[in-house]
A and B are shown apart, each in its own frame.
Chain A
Amino acid sequence: MSTKNKRKKKQREELAFREVERERAQTLRLRKPTTKQRMLYFFVGLIMNALPTYLFFSIYEMDLLKSLPLFGFVSIICSIILSMGYHNVSFFLKHRLLKKTGVNFQKQRTKKKVAGGEREERQKKQLESSITTQAVSLSLLYNSLFFLVIVLIFAFYITWIFEAHANYILSLAVASSIVTYISSTKIQ
């Protein structure tokens, strides 16, 4: 192969490598949730943890006032773990849905102004935001349902033999860990 062809091939490989690196960096940047998203996931996680807490103090007759510090501490930790799971699934779903639309969301790098280009960009942004909403809501629905099912199975069929406080800690911690672990396997 002539040196000219070799140089061209090398340049093409470098360009392709840079493109891949840029996409990877963008993906990593998008992979981090925004502050709004973090707050939303944490808030929903707290509500999801409050539901089995109600069952524990009504069916297992845990004293609400005496166990309040335990409820608070476990709920906060499990909400943080759950929020990671929520973001993993919403990130995975968002990319999948973006691919499915078949629309090119990358910004045009041409200097020429295309007719109707601004309107198209605005519509693309709206489409991206509706896909984000869709992915987040689906992630919240799926993970919350999954979490509740696992908590109920553990609390009433597997760890019920333990004392009420131990049962509470185990069922919530295990359920939130399983949900987050399974959600992380999706994005690998």
Chain B
Amino acid sequence: MKILLLIILLLTSFVFAAEEQANLVVEKDILVTTLPHTEEEFTILYTIYNVGNGPAYDVRLQDAENFPKGKYSTVLSQIDTNWDIVEAETNTTHAVILKRHAVGSDFIGPAKVLFKNTPNGQDITSTSTYIGRLNFTPKSPGESRKSPNWEHWIIFSVVAALVLVIPFLLFKKSEKKKKRLTMNLRKKK
């Protein structure tokens, strides 16, 4: 009896082990160092991890609802996209650059990811993480003034120094000549 139960258990484990299933974990992130303003570009990065033991087929990312066309416009790439297959124990990413036009506050909710375990199987839905509430304010005139802008200042300093060095060198050269000529003329007196 016991041996029969063990054999049945072993057989079922083999059956379950043979059944490959995809398991998608989706991360949604905003790549900014400071909160974006209106008319300022920001990047949304989607990372899809397949932590299951089988490939995910016909993977579709849908997130256009969180970024309605009237308020947002895409600068680069598109929000909704799809992949034919995401292999097991791999990940894939998708980035989109957006811009918001109007001042206001939005709750950026989770994105929806649909996929199948087999090419002709049923759709399975997975949801991503969410970003949360974002306040979009207009950029104030002093905003860019406060940021370091090191590269611009370095370029400005180098060019200004070059432009100012030339008259200085001319001055030094003419001073030497002046001293020599003055001494010659005074000697003659």
Contacts and interface: CB of A to CB of B under 8 A. Distances in A.
B164 A141 contact: yes
B141 A145 contact: no
Contact of A59 (B145, B177, B184, B186): B145
Given A51-B156, A51-B160, A141 B144 contact: no
Given A55-B156, A60-B144, A164-B141, A131 B178 contact: yes
B16 interface: no
Counting chain B residues whose Cβ lies within 8 A of the other chain, the interface size class is 20 to 34
A69 interface: no
A120 interface: yes
Contacts of B159: 51, 54
Q: Is the interface of B mostly helix, strand, loop or mixed?
A: helix
B170 A116 contact: no
Interface residues of A, number: 38
A126 interface: yes
Contacts of B185: 101, 103, 120, 123-124, 127
B163 A48 contact: yes
Contacts of A164: 141
Interface in B161-178: 163-164, 167-168, 170-171, 174-175, 177-178
Nearest to A127: B181
B105 interface: no
Given A101-B178, A134-B175, A163-B141, A123 B184 contact: yes
Given A131-B174, A141-B167, 17 more contacts: A51-B156, A51-B159, A54-B152, A59-B144, A60-B141, A61-B144, A101-B182, A120-B185, A123-B184, A124-B185, A126-B177, A127-B181, A130-B177, A133-B170, A137-B174, A138-B167, A160-B141
Interface of B: 141-142, 144-145, 149, 152, 155-156, 159-160, 163-164, 167-168, 170-171, 174-175, 177-178, 181-182, 184-186, 188
